[in-house]
Chain A
Amino acid sequence: MTESRRLGLRIALPAIGVAVALLLAGCSSSGGASSTSAASKTNFGGVKLTVWNSIDYNPYEAQQKSFFEKCGKKLGITVDDQTINGDYASALLKAAGSKSLPGIVQLSTDVELPTLAAEGALANLHSLGVSTEGESSSVSSLGTYKGTLYGLPSNIENYAIFYDKVAFANAGISTPPATFADFVADAKKVTSSTEAGVAFSGQSGDGSVAAYFLPWILSAGGNPADPTNPGTIAAVNLYKKLVANGSLSKEFVDWGWNSTDQWTAGKAVITVDGPWELVDSSLKVKYATAPFPTLKAGQKPQVGLLGYAYGVSATLSSKEQQAAAALIQCRSSEANQVATAIAGGYIPALTAAQQAFVAKVPSAKSFVDAVPTAYNPAKLGTKWNTLQNVFAAALQDAATNGDSAEQALAKAAQAKGQ
């Protein structure tokens, strides 16, 4: 399960690059939707809709099928729920290019949603009466492109610190580190000959650095758009210090999403990971989660946020669009979101569902607490692709070649034209 999701993230960016080559024609918006609140209607007898899901593992797959079919039955819609295996981005863009996008599509909010929305392939959900009420603004904004709602976020992902409680207790550490300095000191304390203090990713190209390093920049008060600002320098310095004091193996430069394998295998005490670990029953580590430490005491930690949203094809008729809007609103009910979170290890999009998830899985609190102030890196647009490479190059340079964080970031930024 976890591997499947990591794989999806790993291939998402390269895949979209290849996939767009298959788009031969732009897509146009039908714009024929009624402005009445379709999502509140209850009967669409005769409407048939196809749903495409991208998350291809069970129990998630079977669960979504069940949700859509139940909602379809309730609304009088015949639903054909499909999960697309393999290169979903290619399939999506090929369908959009040939104007044969299915009625409802699941979209990653960082790449797929803005790509399709920019080409007019998605319907405006506001005009169809879809509501994001109950979601914090950081979550609802994930489904928007240039201020228009094109996707209803159903589940989201962010990151938190995972640590081995036993190792912390053995080292006499009673509370998780609150500042970068505490983090460096605690990592050093828990490092032993058999277990590293920390496992982070540092490899360029697979997107993991963007996910796992971004919270450190933000929690140092940094601006991810500016690679040479003090917060980013402080975040690179943190990695450099951890390597220098032996808490983090310099092999982290070769670790991508699999960096967390070091932690799950008991070879590291602390790592950064996503919510999928919260529901992994095979984990042997007795762990706890914590929010990211901040550069200085009293600062607020911040994380990056991405998610999955359901969009409606702009090529549907007005009636079908209204039916699709009602269907995704039904699918995104609080109960369904909580069930998805528990089964799949996602954070629900609805605030009430998040609280219910925390009640069931208490270690999710660090994730949920970070949602309202989370940062959406998709707003950096295509620049984010370049910045990810800048950060990876700077981390590697500072940690292995002995350059200062300032030098490494300046060099990497210059090399990548930032």
Chain B
Amino acid sequence: MTEAPAVRRRRSGRPVPDRRRLSLASRRRAELWTFLVPAIVFFAVFFVYPLGYGVYMSTTNFTTATFFTGQSPFVGLANFIAIFQDPVLGKAIVNTLLITVASVVVELVVGLALALLFNRRFPGSRWLPTLILLPWLLPSVVIGTIWKWLLAGDGAVNGILSSLHLPQDTWLADPATALGAVIVVSIWGSLPYWSIILSAALKQVPEDQLEASQLDGADGWQRLVHIVIPTIWPVISVLVVMSVVYTLLIVDIVLVLTGGGPADDTATLGLLSYRSAFDLFQFGDAAAYGMLLLLISLAFAIVYTWLSGRQERRAE
């Protein structure tokens, strides 16, 4: 019995690599796939599948019976037609956009103001940023419950207004004030996040540029507009994107504060989706509302990407 040679040799006597051994390019490809496969699997399982299932549900008559029978008849666009015939839909879209725009604008302005404040030294400047972070640490349901109590007719807000001889209201029950109250609470919950992130971003602003501009006679506003904001703009734009997408999906705070009332005046798209699924057990309609929310988010993402690209091209 003869042993197979481990390495074949060329006529010159130099060893020839075994065919079973991979070339450098193949090894690189293998390494690439080794790193890529877990990410692809993760993306497929946790993003593509749920999204695809949501699209599937939005085109079927998916009810509680489906879970027993396993059958959900295909209904095409019927769920979308049904939700577009809901008179509350228009109000919910307007409310969702209003809450989102108002929240993001106020969070940006006030968050930046707080961040600028925290960048200065004053009594309490060390512990105040930590203290202000507390609302962000609270779950939305807790925030909603606290504010529901504060804004009640006999709550603390009216108590303070009364002691100041200012007009009071049933803030969450009055159609004129309920949506505003929801926006205020939403901002209260998210503002700390903005102020902390912007506060960290402000530390990247070059001190020498600020000092030089000051020596050149630039006032505070000019330094803010021409040096500070352009420097932290990438952070601001990421915060805006994240906040818009997060606020578009708002459900929990609305559910706890008003349940969408009075008379659907604070209803949002997320709330309509929740109601369809868990009050009416019409999971197909709920998925259709979800798809509508996805389309709005996508529209925003496309506009944002286009604007960012245009800005980068200008900068070049």
> Which residue numbers of A lie inside 8 Å of B, CB to CB?
13-14, 16-18, 20-23, 26, 115, 118-119, 202-206, 249-254, 256, 267, 382, 385-386, 388-389, 392-393, 396-397, 399-401, 408, 411, 414-415, 417
Q: Do A254 and B281 form a contact, CB below 8 Å, given A26-B69, A400-B173, A415-B87?
A: no
B68 contact set on A, CB distance < 8 A: 20, 23, 26, 118-119
CB distance from B251 to the nearest CB of A (A): 12
Q: Are the CB atoms of B170 and A396 closer together than 8 Å?
A: no
Interface CB pairs A-B, < 8 A, 24: A13-B278, A14-B279, A21-B67, A26-B69, A203-B259, A204-B279, A206-B259, A249-B153, A249-B173, A250-B174, A253-B258, A254-B148, A254-B172, A385-B279, A386-B280, A392-B261, A393-B263, A396-B261, A397-B263, A399-B262, A400-B173, A400-B175, A400-B265, A415-B86
| Cα(A282)–Cα(B192), bound, Å | 42
Task: Find out whether the CB atom of A205 lies under 8 angstroms from the CB atom of B259.
Answer: yes
Q: Is the interface of A mostly helix, strand, loop or mixed?
A: helix
Could you say which interface size class chain B belongs to? 20 to 34
Q: Which of A17, A252, A256, A393 has most B Cβ within 10 Å? A: A17
**Interchain nearest-CB distance for A324 vs B (Å):** 24
Which partner residue on chain A sits nearest B257 by CB separation? Answer: A254
Query: Complex Cα distance A256/B258, Å?
Result: 10
A392 and B170 alpha carbons, distance in the complex (Å): 18
Closest Cβ neighbor of B285 among chain A residues: A417
| In the complex, chain A residues whose CB is within 8 Å of the CB of B174 | 250, 400
Which interface residue of A16, A119, A205 has the most chain B CB atoms within 10 A? Answer: A205
Residues on the B chain within 8 Å of A17, using CB: 64, 277-278, 281
Q: Is the CB of A253 within 8 A of B261?
A: yes
Contacting residues, chain A, for B154 (C-beta < 8 A): 267
Beta-carbon contact of B278 and A401 below 8 Å: no
B positions within 8 Å CB-CB of A? 64, 67-69, 82, 86-88, 148, 152-154, 170, 172-175, 255, 257-265, 275, 277-281
Contacts of B278 on A, CB cut-off 8 Å? 13-14, 17-18
Contacts of A20 in B (CB 8 A): 64, 67-68
Contacts of B259 in A (CB 8 A): 203-206, 254, 256
Q: How far is the CB of B277 from chain A (nearest CB, A)?
A: 7
Verify B67–A400 contact, CB threshold 8 A: no
Question: Which chain A residues border B86 with CB–CB below 8 Å?
Answer: 415
Question: By the criterion CB–CB under 8 Å, are B263 and A400 in contact?
Answer: yes
**Minimum distance in angstroms from A68 CB to a CB of chain B:** 30
Residues of B within 8 A of A249 (CB): 153, 170, 173
Q: How far apart are the CA atoms of A18 and B278 in the complex, in Å?
A: 8
> Contacts A250-B174, A254-B173, A267-B154 hold; do A401 and B263 have CB atoms under 8 A apart?
yes
Q: Is the CB of A251 within 8 A of B172?
A: yes
Minimum CB–CB distance from A237 to chain B (whole Å) comes to: 16
Given contacts A21-B67, A400-B175, whether A414 and B263 have CB atoms under 8 Å apart is no
A14 to B, closest residue via Cβ: B278
When the two chains form the complex, which single residue of B67, B170, B255 contacts A205, counting CB atoms closer than 8 Å?
Answer: B255
Distance A389 CA – B263 CA, assembled complex (angstroms)? 11
**Contact between chains at A401 and B261 (CB < 8 Å):** no
Taking CB atoms, residues of chain A closer than 8 Å to B262 are 250, 253-254, 396-397, 399-401
> Which partner residue on chain B sits nearest A265 by CB separation?
B154
Most A C-beta atoms less than 10 A away, residue of B67, B87, B148, B257: B67
Residue from B275, B278, B279, B281 having most chain A Cβ neighbours under 10 A: B279
Question: How many Å lie between the Cα of A216 and that of B1 in the bound state?
Answer: 100
With known contacts A26-B68, A385-B280, A251–B261 Cβ distance under 8 A = no
Beyond A17-B277, A204-B275, A397-B262, 5 additional pairs, beta carbon < 8 A: A203-B261, A205-B259, A206-B259, A249-B173, A396-B263
Chain A contacts of B172 at CB under 8 A? 251, 254
Q: How far is the CA of A14 from the CA of B64 in the complex (A)?
A: 11
Set of chain B residues within 8 Å of A408, measured between Cβ atoms: 263
